Amino acid sequence: MRSKTSSFNKEIIKQDFRNVGWISIVYFLGLFFIVPMQLFMEFGRDEPRITDDRGLFGGIFAYELQSLFLIVMPVQMAVFLFRYLHVKGASDFAHSFPMKRGKLFHHHILSGIILLILPILLNYLVLVITAGVTDVTEYYTLANASYWLWLFTTMSLLLFVAGVFVGTLTGLSAVQGVLTYILLVLPVGLYGLIAFHLSAYIKGYSGDMVLDRSLQYFSPLVDLLEYQSYGPEEVSVPVEVLSLFIYGGIAILFYVVSVWLYKKRPLEAAGRALAVRALNPVFKLGVTFCFALFGGMYFSVAQNTYSWMITGYFIGGTFGFAAASMLLEKTWRVFNLKNVKGWLGYGVAAGVIIAVIPLLWQNYEAYVPEQNEVEKVYISGGYWSYQELIDHELDVPYITSEEGVQSALNLHDQLTEVSNPLKDGEDSFFFVYELKNGDEVYRQYQISEERVRKEKKAVYETKEYKSIQYPVLGLDSSDIDQLLIHPNAAPGGEELYDPEKISAFMEALKQDINELSYDQMVAPRGLSSGVSFTVDGMRENPYHAQLFPSYENTIEWMKQEGVYEQMMIQPEDIHRVEVYEWPENRDYPHDYVHYVFDRLKESGVEPLEVTDKDQIESLLQGRENQEDGKYIIAFYFDDRNTNHYDLLSFDEGDAPEFIKEHFE
């Protein structure tokens, strides 16, 4: 009879178990001591810790440590299981077996899958058995444990086959490990670099929003690590169900490509940084491009000029090309004429790509909706103010009136003309349009010039915008459990619990805010006190307010209640005051008062020192947040702490006479 030879070779599987079985054991023990053993220890506590709805992903089970094992062990399995590919003698020996390459590859993959899933499955069985013999509902549910099994299995296989895929491309085990993690985070890094690049060239582009809303979808590692096992935010699973299906599909794709590469891989590739020489140009161009973007980002953040940004492109691209060449040639001696020519070629190619990217967004930059297209618009000082409303599931206070929408469009149109995306401005504007066709439009601008004052004033003085700028206007006093009023720079403060007092205070505060002029909004007079609210038992909320001496109704209410001295800063709270003349001839990159004050202190300028309480009281009429003026006023509250101060400023026309006389 003819003998039959099985396509399954159990000896290869046994050898794999002997070689890399220790990784599986470490994986099992790590998960066991973090999850089941932690559960058993909780059972033995006299006073068990407070649990939460996160189950096996909560603080008790140290999800961060679980993630560490999940990220490290599968990649280690891929590195050690396929190490023979990167050692010439071992590679020749392994491929001398009477077995096709594809079958050999499948045997090793099968070994890796078994050794990775087994630790997860055993820990899951321990959790299921424990749930069957005792009540564990305070710690997790079977649905939660099953999701844990699904998550760890899917992500382990994804990271494993990603490591195998990289292993087929390289001839060095150390490079395999490093490149695997680079591959998994590369989309995020590249996405972030391009987003920053666009935000530096395209007016209105909001890099903050783009990165916050979609960054996690570009890397399974970021998706895993972004989840927090503690905190007040709404409970959710670490990775969405749809994402797990997508990651499973990507794992299959990695596997299919890896099989093809393994069959095509030349045996002599062992010891080379890249096994496939055809990828060398792609690798060099990619590294040059990424480092050029990173260099441009670094220098533009430090200097905020296009000249330094271009310098960063040059330095970063040069470093990236040199690093890639050293890695591929396995020597630092890459500074020769041949590589200089290559550097010029790859540098030009990377430069063309960098230059072309912003050109694709020119229509984005110039677009301002027409009024008849707009249903409503939201304006705030930045993306995070808007996102805070979304996170707290609060209604967004849109501008809907025809006059308000038109004033927002006028401001937006002017910003497209005068804003500079690379220049940090003290004024920041974030627009959210909801169009009548259902589309949404987002834009963000920063500007430090007064060229939009007219358009800005028209928006600020609308009642609808004040509801955006001051969320407290939408807060019902009946929802407030407690409020705390405290001077921002001096000791003291007062808490209110009485519903009648809270209601009266809120009525006065809202009246003052609704009567604010544009100048009072952007540069209010006097040192402020802060108001924080406890709403429906929650201290963490977007409601807050600042009280200024110009709030006549609120100040009058405080005086009637006899708490004015505790709630607002008094001359007696101030130890001394320093007065500086705002320098006329200056070459500062910024004009805001705190920056100029720091430069004056560094230069050793002698100030006018004031300790007379009557004079200090007159100085409390200065303005906050001015970007220009005649005099800078520094209030010190404790002589032992010179870093504890607050600043106001005066124009020449409204400054007290004794200041003018001193500096004449």
pLDDT above 70: percentage of residues in the chain: 88
Contact between residue 114 and residue 20 where contact means Cβ atoms under 8 Å apart = no
d(CA 513, CA 543): 14
Arithmetic mean of pLDDT, 226-255: 78
Type of residue found at 489: A
Arithmetic mean of pLDDT, 550-558: 91
| Selected residue with higher pLDDT from 581 and 394 | 581
Arithmetic mean of pLDDT, 640-661: 84
Arithmetic mean of pLDDT, 113-133: 93
Asked which of 2-11, 254-263, 572-581 is least confident by mean pLDDT, the reply is: 2-11
d(CA 586, CA 627): 13
Contact between residue 608 and residue 662 where contact means Cβ atoms under 8 Å apart = yes
Question: What is the side-by-side order of every strand in the sheet holding 440-447?
Answer: 374-380, 427-435, 440-447
Contact between residue 73 and residue 27 where contact means Cβ atoms under 8 Å apart = yes
Q: Residue 128's pLDDT is what?
A: 92
Total length of the chain: 664
* Helix/strand number for the chain, H first, E second: 25, 11
Mean pLDDT across the chain, nearest whole number?
83
pTM, two decimal places: 0.74
Type of residue found at 390: I
Asked which of 231-240, 346-355, 580-589 is least confident by mean pLDDT, the reply is: 231-240
| Selected residue with higher pLDDT from 131 and 595 | 131
| Selected residue with higher pLDDT from 97 and 397 | 397
3 state DSSP class of 548: coil
User: Can you say whether the dihedral through the CA atoms of 531, 536, 537, 538 is positive or negative?
Assistant: negative
What six digits make up the tokens of 233? 């935010």
Q: Residue 540's pLDDT is what?
A: 76
Q: Residue 2's pLDDT is what?
A: 43
Contact between residue 373 and residue 436 where contact means Cβ atoms under 8 Å apart = yes
CATH number of 474-567: 2.60.40
Query: Domain coordinates of the chain in residue numbers?
Result: 10-185+219-267, 281-364, 367-469, 474-567, 571-663
In this structure, which long-range contacts are made by residues 536-544, counting pairs with CB atoms below 8 Å and at least 24 apart in sequence?
A: 536/479, 536/481, 537/481, 538/232, 540/232, 541/392, 542/385, 542/388, 542/389, 542/392, 542/394, 542/471, 543/471, 543/472, 543/475, 544/471, 544/472
Arithmetic mean of pLDDT, 539-558: 87
pLDDT band per the 50, 70, 90 thresholds, residue 135: confident
